[in-house]
Structure 1
Amino acid sequence: MHQPYDTRKLYWENSFLTDFKAKVTEIEATGDSTGPFRVQLNQTAFYPEGGGQPADQGWLNDFRVIHVESKDEKVWHILSTDNDCTIHTGDMVIGKIDWIRRFDHMQQHLGQHLLSAVLYNDWNANTIGFHLGENTVTIDLDRNQFHSDDYHKIENTVNQLIFKNLPVTTRLISTEEYNRLKLRKTPELTDPVRIVAIEGVDCSACSGTHPSMTGSVGPVKILKAEAYKRGTRITFVCGQRALSHFQLMQQELDHCSTLLSVGRYQIPTALTSHLQDHQQLKKSFKNLQTEWCHLESQRLMTSAISFGHYRVIRQIYASLDAHQLQSIANALKSETDSVALLATTSPSLRFIFINTTDITGFSIKDLMMSHVHHIEGKGGGNAISAQGGGTHTAGLPLMFDALEADIRKWMHKAPLEARETPTVK
């Protein structure tokens, strides 16, 4: 059947064609610095983006073709160049396809046809979305009731069809003939319609490039299946992408095998054992931390600075996490008539202030807000507790000195009988 197109589509006639000659029929500036020129040819082997398949890339003479698009039945080649375009209307040019990219797309696209066909024929699941990405391929299904074992069955069926090396044919037909065929999907199309058929398996409308035999797809591996909208999204890879995935997984397994000093197939058992040991160690460490925090709070009380009836505790830790700092502060809350200034500088500057005095009008939060600028920090709290953080560690001792000086003033204002009460515990 004659092709009523402005550009002859060589990629439909032979998807394995990588080199061709063509005549430039039009060239124009795009206004885009990335691809400043676009060229139209009388015929092309470059596949334009469409139908879920990315565009081919390659070269026209010495110019890099970075994108190809179809508009009004014309195929435009976007050229990347830092200089003026030396291609002119009427010139004969040599086109060369980036074959690695093209064949990858052919493997992924036919793999998608096979996967969608198996899902449709055996699982009553329609493919309603398809995206061929740079690293993976996804299809969206209108069904969501699958079990984890189902995907292995689907995968096995697809790969068996690949092993059979079934022929793949394409042809252009009229919409009238198209409507008479039993197809997997029936979108609204106009004359002529391009059909891609896999012998005994599938027949569907498609404008993409495909191998001539299913064996060229190589292995198909489902990587993930997840709920998507009201259906399922399946992520998979084919051919070289699948091989690269297997190689990476083997490399990672070998690394884990070396770390755990076991064979590949013993990794799950060894890892389970290590995780159980780790959980036990975490529990023991947490118990030790709790005990240490209790002992540390007692040490701080014995070294507290007495001021009449009251005591001031100040301690800056070089390395203490926020949880431990909070545990010490919680233990000190049970001590009456005390003000505790606690801080840690690593892993980040954090502070907690506790006030257990009964001094009228004394708020540890207000005091903190007056001096937190020393550490370029901020915080919050109330009269009996305040906490926060900062970025200027060098200012922390100055902040504590200023706080202690103000705390002493408040304690001095307290009733005389309270300040003279013995501090021995």
Structure 2
Amino acid sequence: MAFACQRDSYAKELVTTVKSCTSAKIDGKLDGYEVILGDTVLFPEGGGQPDDRGTIDEVFVERVIRRGGEAVHYTTKPLEVGKEVKLKVDWKRRFDHMQQHTGQHLVTALADNKYGFKTVSWCLGPQKSFIELDCTKMSQQQIDDLEVVVNECIRAQTPVTPHVLQVGSPELEEVRSRGLPDDHVGPVRVIEIQGIDSNMCCGTHLSNLSHLQSIKLLHTENKRGHVLLYFVAGQRVLDYLNRTVNNERNLSKLLSCGPEDHVECVERLQKAQKSSAKVTRSYLREIAQLIVYNHLHNESRDPVACIHRDDGDMEFMNSVANELAPQGIVCLITVGPEKGAGQFLLAGSEDIISSLGPKVAEILDGKGGGRKGRYQGKANGLRGREKAEALIREAMENKTVE
């Protein structure tokens, strides 16, 4: 059967009766009830479109799914069987879904008509959606040209009409489709965009492309040998523009320049940052050399070297370990905020490091691994350095006694 939401996607309310109400788990976690009604304006998920939200006599509907020819509403409160109830749909959510879904049909049809790119799947996301196209590449020029044609169809106020056809009907042979669900019962619903597309679909749709307002094609990604074409439609175009304008305004304040100079300013900052990083690495190499020199030329050469630098990096740790470890010195080198998270490197003779590595990682609340006299990883608790050093010194003393 076609539900009220499918017969009239613009219906916001409906009075109907409760056919059944049974105990159930909502998403396998929340205790609730499965409610089946005489009809519904709340769309059950399907065709790539998420389900609606709304109320039944002010009782919130947590989910709606289709089971055969029935729509199953999940609530946390029971409803009296046989009682007449009033449904209300969350119209903001519904209309957004209608805009994205009809927009998907339009982009899918025109991508096929214009380039022969078939749609394999699509996803209606919380902020933007994508269409998975059966092609390996889509140029920016193709995206721009497609966007122009899409919005021309919107400005032409093209009608969108649902049709109900019987299974086996000759008209169905001309309809674009990926097949019916295994549990489908009854007639088949087809959405026609006049002069552009006819597609088998159970979802809720706009009655005219003009209700889309506009569509913006955003960008593409490659996945599984296909192209994911991201887009926003309707109100989401304005939402996307508002977020972009706010980001632009904030960047103008941070960069102290107008939007037209953002790219040039960021390029200068990146260049300066690379130059600073180069100088910093040079300083760290010199500091590492100095640490090594002082340790090796100390009259009472310490068999343990525990070294920490907030601004150090992996190159710094390796520079120190490469010089001290071959001299029989056990090194614990850490970098990062003194009492925060960072990295560690334990280096020395293989027999000691293989035993101490996991213990040091545990003390530093981290994870790591290694071989051949090296054990390194990430640490969440660098404040445990003193405890780690004590463990290393104790191990070295025990070895000396042996």
Does residue 109 (structure 1) correspond to residue 98 (structure 2)? The answer is no
Residues 290/109 of structure 1: CA separation in 2 closer, same or farther (3 Å cut): same
Counterparts of 1:274 and 1:80, CA distance in 2: 54
Aligned to 1:393: 385
Name the counterpart of 2:34: 38
Instruction: Give me the whole-angstrom Cα distance separating, in 2, the residues matched to 1:186 and 1:266.
Output: 48
Q: Distance in 1 between matches of 2:353 and 2:134?
A: 59
User: Is the 8 Å Cα contact of residues 372 and 399 (structure 1) preserved in structure 2?
Assistant: no
Could you tell me which of 213, 216, 229 is aligned with 1:221?
216
SS in 2 for 1:30: strand
Among residues 154, 159, 162, which one is paired with 1:162 in the alignment? 154
| Residue matched to 2:47 | 51
Kept after mapping to 1: 8 A contact 2:325/2:347: no
- State the alpha-carbon separation in 1 of the partners of residues 347 and 61 from structure 2: 65
Structure 2 residue matching 1:44: 3-state secondary structure: coil
Structure 1 residues 18 and 393 mapped into 2: Cα distance closer, same or farther (>3 Å)? Answer: same
The answer to whether 1:135 aligns with 2:113 is no
For 2:276 and 2:75, locate their aligned partners in 1 and report how far apart those are by CA, in whole Å.
61
Task: Name the residue aligned to 1:420.
Answer: none
Task: Write the distance in 1 (CA, Å) between the matches of 2:320 and 2:51.
Answer: 63
Please point out which of 86, 98, 108 is paired with 2:90. Answer: 98
Q: Does 1:340 align with 2:307?
A: no
| 2:80 alignment partner in structure 1 | 88
C-alpha change, 1:211 and 1:220, in structure 2 (3 Å) is: same
Aligned pairs (5 A) from 1:21-420: 21-32=15-26, 34=30, 36-81=32-77, 85=78, 87-175=79-167, 177-179=169-171, 182-185=174-177, 187=179, 192-305=187-300, 311-312=301-302, 314-319=304-309, 321=312, 322-332=314-324, 338-344=327-333, 346-347=335-336, 348=342, 350=344, 352-353=346-347, 364-367=349-352, 392-396=384-388, 398-399=390-391, 401-402=393-394, 405=397
Q: Quick one: distance in 2 between partners of 1:103 and 1:243?
A: 15
1:228 deviates by 3.1
Q: CA deviation at 1:303?
A: 2.2
Q: Structure 1 residues 19 and 302, CA, compared in 2 at 3 Å: closer, same or farther? A: same
| Pairs aligned (count) | 381
1:213-251 per-residue CA deviation (whole Å, 9 max, x = no partner) reads 112123322334223334322232222223222222222
Q: Distance in 1 between matches of 2:8 and 2:359?
A: 74
Partners of 2:165 and 2:172 within 8 A in 1: no
Instruction: Report if the CA contact (8 A) 1:374-1:395 is conserved.
Output: no
In structure 2, how many angstroms separate the alpha carbons of the residues matched to 1:332 and 1:403? 18
| Aligned-pair CA distance for 1:379 | 7.8
User: For 2:351 and 2:178, how far apart are their aligned partners in 1?
Assistant: 72
TM, length-normalised to structure 2: 0.81
**What is the percentage of aligned positions where both structures have the same residue?**
24
Q: 8 Å contact 2:159–2:193 — kept in the other structure?
A: yes
The Cα of 1:369 is off from its aligned counterpart by 6.4
Q: 1:13-24 alignment to 2 at 5 Å?
A: 13-24=7-18
Tell me which moved more, 264-273 or 370-379: 370-379
In structure 1, distance between residues paired with 2:58 and 2:355: 69
Give me the whole-angstrom Cα distance separating, in 2, the residues matched to 1:66 and 1:253.
37
For residues 286 and 160 of structure 1, what CA distance do their matches in structure 2 show?
A: 55
The match for 1:418 is none
The more displaced of 388-397 and 162-171 is 388-397
Q: TM-score, normalised by structure 1?
A: 0.78
Deviates more, 1:242-251 or 1:180-189: 180-189
Q: CA deviation at 1:393?
A: 2.5
SS state of the match for residue 309, structure 2?
A: coil
Distance 2:87 2:35 in 1: 12
Q: How far did 1:114 drift?
A: 0.7
- How far did 1:14 drift? 1.8
For residues 270-317 of structure 1, give each alpha carbon's deviation from its aligned partner in whole angstroms, at most 9, with x where no partner exists: 212211221122222222222232233223333241xxxxx5465433
Q: Within 2, Cα distance between the matches of 1:220 and 1:133?
A: 15
Post-superposition shift, 1:210?
A: 1.0
> Once superposed, what is the RMSD of the aligned Cα atoms?
3.3
In the superposition, relative to structure 1, how do residues 113 and 297 fare at CA in structure 2: closer, same or farther (>3 Å)?
same
**Bigger Cα Rg:** 1
Distance 1:134 1:102, change over 3 A: same
